[in-house]
Amino acid sequence: MATTPVVDIHTHIYPTTYLTLLRSRTKVPYLLDLPDKMAPPRLIILPSDDDPALPAHQRGRPIDSSYSSINQKLDFMKTHGITTSVISLANPWLDFLSPEEGPQWAAKVNNELEDICSTSQNSLYAFATLPLSASSSRITGEIHRLQSLAHMRGIILGTTGLSQGLDDPALEPVWSALESAKLLIFLHPHYGLPSSVYGPRASEYGHVLPLSLGFPMETTIAFTRMWLSGVFDRHPKLKVLIAHAGGTVPFLSGRINSCVQHERHFPENEGGGRGPKRGLKEVLRENVWLDAVVYSPTGVRAAVEVVGKDRVLFGTDHPFFPPLDEGKEEWMSVETNIQAVKDAFGEDKQGATKVLGGNAIELLGLDVA
């Protein structure tokens, strides 16, 4: 019986090269091995994780083999009926390296991802990582090199860009290189919001506030700055996939646009509107794709409404959000996202099939035979 392909475009990995890099460091981000060799190492990923008052086994988060093992990724895919995955390095990528260190580590990580994909019989493709702390010529050099790696379909990008955010004019050569290489930008959060917004009781709620609210707001702000600064006017062919169903972009796009149209700071443009020449609605329909990692049919419907049903793509966020019940093979987080897509489309089975796989195959030119 022919099965319809399911493609996971939001699935991360910390490849061996990256773990080696983190193990060699003592400043955030770094990997802390515990005296108990049976216990997984701890990833100290945020400054707030690096609390010397806490015992080592309570700092940061445990990083077990599911974060780096390709066999476990393939088993996870089999369990959930996923035909093809587009893997990407997990946060915080290479943002923290010195300008001299960045390019060699980017090349090592990207080569390892390519090697992994090339031995996977087309079940794996990848989004590469860029050495963003390096000079723009080194960054664009890596973008050009990626075109010779057969399984690369885009790049994953954090919200800070070269350190000043995605409205930074210094990013122009990078946008140009990505646009002409036709590489998709997978825009993904890491830094969240300042911890003060979560209040003095934040630690009582674990990671709930930063992950459910900080991440989506971070992504929304980053993308809005990109649009406001005219990136899509200057680079009309740039393609951006925004993580977590666009953060809050689908819900807030009307308000963002209204604020622009009422902002005296912006002179009227040729079309009679204010702000960037290419309006938010147009950019969302022509330059943007959204993943469906949103855990509710309401979220999927909102995504579909603003970008169109051909531009929403299924993802899992593996290996994040595993079941808390350790023996369980099926992940609630994945089942919720699959069900959300099916419920959002109801009788439109073809629409759901496209979001679950067809859209990604078409956008990224994946060979899923």
Which positions lie near ligand 5CU, rule CB under 6 A? 12, 90-91, 211, 215, 317, 320
User: Cis before residue 319, ω within 30 degrees of 0?
Assistant: yes
Min dist. Cβ of residue 280 to ligand 5CU (A): 24
**How is residue 268 annotated by DSSP?**
B
Residue 298 to residue 27: CA distance in whole angstroms? 41
Min dist. Cβ of residue 190 to ligand 5CU (A): 7
Residue 154 pairs in a beta bridge with: 127, 184
Min dist. Cβ of residue 320 to ligand 5CU (A): 4
Min dist. Cβ of residue 8 to ligand 5CU (A): 13
Given the complex with ligand 5CU, which of 140 and 316 has the nearer CB atom? 316
How many Cα atoms sit within 13 Å of 125 on the Cβ side? 26
Given the complex with ligand 5CU, which of 69 and 180 has the nearer CB atom? 69
Contact yes or no for 167/225 (Cβ under 8 A)? yes
Given the complex with ligand 5CU, which of 88 and 253 has the nearer CB atom? 88
Alpha helix ranges (H) inside the chain: 16-23, 70-79, 101-118, 136-146, 172-181, 208-209, 215-228, 231-234, 243-246, 249-261, 280-286, 297-307, 332-345, 349-353, 359-364
Given the complex with ligand 5CU, which of 49 and 114 has the nearer CB atom? 49
Given the complex with ligand 5CU, which of 223 and 320 has the nearer CB atom? 320
Helix, strand, coil percentages (3-state) for the chain, rounded to 5, are 45, 15, 40
Min dist. Cβ of residue 12 to ligand 5CU (A): 6
Q: Say what the alpha-carbon torsion angle 236, 242, 248, 253 is, to the nearest 10 degrees.
A: 10
Strand 152-157 and strand 288-291: the pairing is: unpaired
User: Helix (H, G, I), strand (E, B), or coil: what is residue 187?
Assistant: strand
Number of C-beta neighbours around residue 336 at 10 A: 13
Given the complex with ligand 5CU, which of 56 and 213 has the nearer CB atom? 213
Angle separating helix axes 297-307 and 332-345, nearest 10 degrees: 60
Given the complex with ligand 5CU, which of 8 and 317 has the nearer CB atom? 317
Min dist. Cβ of residue 317 to ligand 5CU (A): 5
**Burial of 222 per CB tally in 10 Å (0-12, 13-18, 19+):** buried
How far apart, in Å, are the Cα atoms of 162 and each of 89, 319, 349? 18, 27, 42
Contact yes or no for 216/189 (Cβ under 8 A)? yes
Min dist. Cβ of residue 289 to ligand 5CU (A): 16
Min dist. Cβ of residue 46 to ligand 5CU (A): 9
Given the complex with ligand 5CU, which of 188 and 309 has the nearer CB atom? 188
Given the complex with ligand 5CU, which of 12 and 342 has the nearer CB atom? 12
Task: Give residue number: closest CB to ligand 5CU.
Answer: 320
Contact yes or no for 6/82 (Cβ under 8 A)? yes
Min dist. Cβ of residue 96 to ligand 5CU (A): 14
